[in-house]
Structure 1
Amino acid sequence: MSHITIYSRTHCPLCDKAKAVILELKEEWNFTLEEIDIETSDELTEQYGLMIPVVHIDGEEAAFGLVNKFVIRNRLHEKSLSK
């Protein structure tokens, strides 16, 4: 089972859209989901501040900014083949 992490912040429309895309995929794929608010950490804010939302799958960056459902689906498929 894969693990998806979304790095986001509050009041971020792109983050809301990315989360909606991920939740749609949850109906097709079995994965755990974690959302991390980058504003809780200066280090995360510095690392991802201009890129959010950032989506990691199993610790690897899969997408950022405008998150595309098909890109995430393809990455999940690739991950499932490599396990």
Structure 2
Amino acid sequence: MRVTLYTRAGCHLCDQARAVVVQVCEELGEGFEEVDIDADPELRERFTDEVPVTFVDGRQHDFWRVSPDRLRAALRG
């Protein structure tokens, strides 16, 4: 999976980011994984104020909001 989306339950920005990631990944034939930061104490400490956080190819791409155009460009680049 080239895209990892770090989220937490009850996060409205996470819901919005997930919708963008799903749309762009389906459009480009890419998969993604979603990780709940609250299931891992280290992730919760690292990302608690930044969720959702999007990684592409193992590198941090965006946090809080996901731009479909930026995500497409990263996946095509």
Superposition TM-score, scaled by structure 1 size: 0.86
Q: Using the alignment, how far apart are the partners of 1:34 and 1:57 within structure 2?
A: 11
Percent of aligned pairs sharing the same letter: 35
> Following the alignment from structure 2 to structure 1, what is the Cα–Cα distance between the partners of residues 9 and 21?
17
**Aligned position for 2:38:** 39
Q: CA deviation digits over 1:33-81, x for unaligned, max 9?
A: 1000000011001111111100011111111111111111111111xxx
Taking structure 2 as the reference length, what is the TM-score of the superposition?
A: 0.92
Q: Deviations over 1:10-53 (max 9, x none)?
A: 00000000000011112321222100000001100111111110
- Alignment size in residue pairs: 77
Partner of 2:49: 50
CA distance in 1, matches of 2:32, 2:26: 12
Greater radius of gyration (CA): 1
1:1-83 aligned at under 5 Å gives the runs 3-78=2-77
RMSD between aligned residues:
1.1
- Gaps spanning 5+ residues in structure 2: where? none
Given residue 71 of structure 1, which amino acid in structure 2 is its aligned partner? R
Higher alpha-carbon deviation: 8-17 or 23-32: 23-32
Which blocks of at least 5 consecutive residues in structure 1 are unaligned? 79-83
